[in-house]
Amino acid sequence: MTKISRLIFAFFIFLNITLMLSCAHGPSFVKEEKIPEQKGLVYLYRKGLSGALLVPVISCNGKTFVSLKSGCYYPYFADPGKNFFSAQTESYTQVSVDVEPGKTYYVRLRVGIGFFVGRPHLILVDEEKGAKEIKGCKLQW
């Protein structure tokens, strides 16, 4: 096999693994129409292929609820008040969201460069930006 053939083969193997670990097969984003009474809605989402092989586990107030793949989103109905969302690999990230009943919030997970593995970063984004960015995501099952 020539060097170019090996590179092409390696690229397709990487692409195949990346697609398996992404939300390529979940349903596309659909806005939740009904927020339960006395709850707020927090959309957690992840865009792009950066760190696609890494699937950080997301927790709220210490309670784990989803492993968020690249290209996915997850709707989380949170209790009112301060909610602390976190993710951890070799480093730890946390963002607090002061939830009000009936309101919607957007938290983006980004994976940056780490020493051994990617480092997760949770970022609270404004509603306009979050609603725009989440449109291409698929539901994390």
The string of pLDDT tens digits covering residues 84-112 is 999 988 789 999 999 999 999 999 999 88
- Give yes or no for residue 16 having a pLDDT over 60: no
pLDDT of residue 15: 47
CA distances from 87 to 4, 27, 57, 63, 100 (A): 38, 24, 6, 11, 23
CA distances from 45 to 39, 72, 76, 110 (A): 19, 6, 11, 9
- Give yes or no for residue 50 having a pLDDT over 80: no
pLDDT of residue 10: 52
For the residues 75-81, what does the mean pLDDT come to?
98
Q: Alpha-carbon distance 96 to 77, whole Å?
A: 15
For the residues 104-129, what does the mean pLDDT come to?
89
The full set of domain ranges for the chain reads 3-139
pLDDT bracket for residue 8 (50, 70, 90): low
Cβ partners under 8 Å of residue 103, min gap 6: 40, 41
The predicted-structure confidence for 56-67, as pLDDT tens digits, reads as follows 899 999 999 999
The predicted-structure confidence for 23-43, as pLDDT tens digits, reads as follows 666 789 999 999 999 999 999
Structural contact between residues 26 and 139, judged by C-beta atoms closer than 8 angstroms: yes
Compare 15 and 46 and report the one with higher pLDDT. 46
